[in-house]
Amino acid sequence: MRRVSRSAFAAVAIASFTFLAACQPAVPGARVIPSPAFGAPTNLITGGAASALDPSRSPAGTNDYSCKPSAAHPDPVVLVHGTFGNAYDSWSGLGPVLKSFGYCVFAVNYGAPSGSLFKGSGDIPTSAAQIGVFVDGVRAATGAAKVDLVGHSQGGSVARYYADLIGGSAKVNKVIGLAPSNHATTLDGLVNLGRFIGALDPVFALTNWIGLPSLQQQGDPNSTFYKNLNGHGETVAGITYTNIATKYDEVVTPYTQAFITAGPGATVNNITLQNVCSGDLTDHLGIVYDTNVYQIILNSLEPTDQRPVACSASLPLFGT
């Protein structure tokens, strides 16, 4: 009997997945998410490869400083990548989608020198200040009073830090987190294990020494970062917070660490992706290329225009 090679099996599996995704039934009233342009990144791997020679490049549809917000979408959207990400690899999916729906969209790079491929590794409060400078530039160019922030992983928590603690509350309307590190992660138990065997402090000492302090800040529930971010309430009045988490997150663990509690005058929507699309298998990395998530984001940005979510098949890493 002839053996089927693993590569052939993988090809069949991917083809089958693509066919099933294309055959998802239409849902009346759901938003139709446009397909990516030919050659555009469709996951973090292809996005990272495409940005290797130009780590500061902007995703399609973003950072058009001539864009003027419409009456329907008065708040520009600022996209904030996560740890070791950059604007291009994280937002080449969502950026063009938001642009197609009429938003002025901007994507920031932060937390590392401009020539660094892997950003978001620096001190998080310092990164929050960088995001504040970027937001001020967006507001000045567009004439908008406020922006909406959409952040992935660390991008969600650093967006909250800026909005809640260092002057962003008067400039931010909504904060939307995709698998945000709003509380310390166990990294599927690796942090707890490292602490138990006494290996964690040397590891964090090394990562801090080589200029990666954001790793310890997100892995230590007693870090000054989290004490400041959550120690006096997790929200500020007047801002609407949405956190979208996946049960298959392997980075922010347990996945409920993404969720926060509303304080006075704030609104919080904590959404488990599988409660919306039960068959969605996306993980921490795939969530930024998941069209099911895009529909939830659009509902979060447009509270007066809520639509049903047409759930498509979605895989870990690759999204929809």
Task: Give the pLDDT band (50/70/90) at residue 276.
Answer: very high
Domain map (residue ranges) of the chain: 41-301
pLDDT tier, 90 (very low <50, low <70, confident <90, very high otherwise): very high
* Comparison of pLDDT for 18 and 293, the residue scoring more: 293
Radius of gyration of the chain (CA): 19
Residue with tokens 């969502």: 94
* Alpha helix stretches (DSSP H) within the chain: 6-22, 44-50, 87-91, 94-100, 124-142, 154-165, 190-196, 200-209, 213-219, 224-230, 273-276, 291-301
Confidence of residue 113 (pLDDT cuts 50, 70, 90): confident
Pairing of strands 267-272, 172-178: unpaired
Options 3.40.50.1820, 3.30.950.10, 1.25.40.10, 3.10.180.10; CATH for 41-301 is 3.40.50.1820
| pTM, full prediction | 0.87
pLDDT in tens, 43-72: 999 999 999 989 999 999 999 999 999 999
Burial track 77-109 (b if 16+ CB lie within 10 A, e otherwise): bbbbbbbbbbbbbbbbbbbbbbbebebbbbbbb
3-state secondary structure of 107: strand
Q: Is the pLDDT of residue 18 over 50?
A: no
What's the whole-number average pLDDT of the chain? 86
Residues 281-312 pLDDT 10s? 999 999 999 999 999 999 999 999 999 999 99
The answer on pLDDT for 192 being more than 60 is no
- Is 95 within 8 Å of 65 (Cβ atoms)? no
- 93-97, 98-102, 193-197, 244-248: lowest mean pLDDT where? 193-197
Residue 232 pLDDT grade (very low, low, confident, very high; cuts 50, 70, 90): very high
Residue 295 CA to residue 97 CA, distance in Å, equals 10
Instruction: Report the pLDDT value the prediction gives residue 9, as an integer from 0 to 100.
Output: 34
